[in-house]
A and B are shown apart, each in its own frame.
Chain A
Amino acid sequence: LAKTTQPISMDSYEGQEVNITCSHNNIATNDYITWYQQFPSQGPRFIIQGYKTKVTNEVASLFIPADRKSSTLSLPRVSLSDTAVYYCLVGDGAYSGGGADGLTFGKGTHLIIQP
């Protein structure tokens, strides 16, 4: 599994665009990049997934450069309710059976949005 590195924490203000970058220097050819969001005392929630270039949905955008060694989660016009921990995961999406199919979460980025 490719190791990921994210900032431990970030601060921003309501209405701003927030970009969280994740480094994954040893990403494999078949690996996808997936981001989860976790609010306090809740289970993680899938946000977005991509392989290359740009992916956008109703919640966020994911920018992936050509070398795919990093990715950036972009949250447009954040609000107080976007305060959460954001996790970047890298994997090839394939199930192999057994415990290897569980997800490995890093420390994530604790995003704090202020008024």
Chain B
Amino acid sequence: GAVVSQHPSWVICKSGTSVKIECRSLDFQATTMFWYRQFPKQSLMLMATSNEGSKATYEQGVEKDKFLINHASLTLSTLTVTSAHPEDSSFYICSARDQGQAKETQYFGPGTRLLVL
């Protein structure tokens, strides 16, 4: 089956630094990838849609200048949390759409745990 990887799996950083998270589709091409955030004991919340070769689409309330998304190839999307603060500490998960698959059958990465001190 289709596999999506994320790197790193966890990261600890100091407040004010920037952190980059990679999302890769390993065995298929993904023109569209999605970024979600999940706080403890809560459900996943969609942050943005990453489109290959074009600007990302952000959900209401998500700061595009803080969460920079780049989808430079059909297998890689990156999320950069700029000037991270403790309230950005969360579990970040990406998903990818495989051509021909229904919308509700997206493939999810294993997630990246971010802790900002």
Contact = CB atoms under 8 A, between A and B. Distances in A.
A93 B102 contact: yes
B109 A93 contact: no
B105 A94 contact: no
A108 B106 contact: no
A91 to B, nearest CB: 5
Contacts of A41: 91, 111, 113
Contacts of B44: 44, 103, 105
Give the one of A43, A91, A92, A98 with max B CB within 10 A: A43
Contacts, number: 74
A5 to B, nearest CB: 13
Interface residues of B, number: 30
Chain B interface SS verdict (over half) = strand
A41 B94 CA distance: 13
A115 to B, nearest CB: 24
A93 B97 CA distance: 11
Nearest to A93: B102
Contacts of A43: 4, 6, 93-95, 108-111
Nearest to B2: A46
Nearest to B93: A43
Contacts of B111: 41-43
B104 A93 contact: yes
B63 interface: no
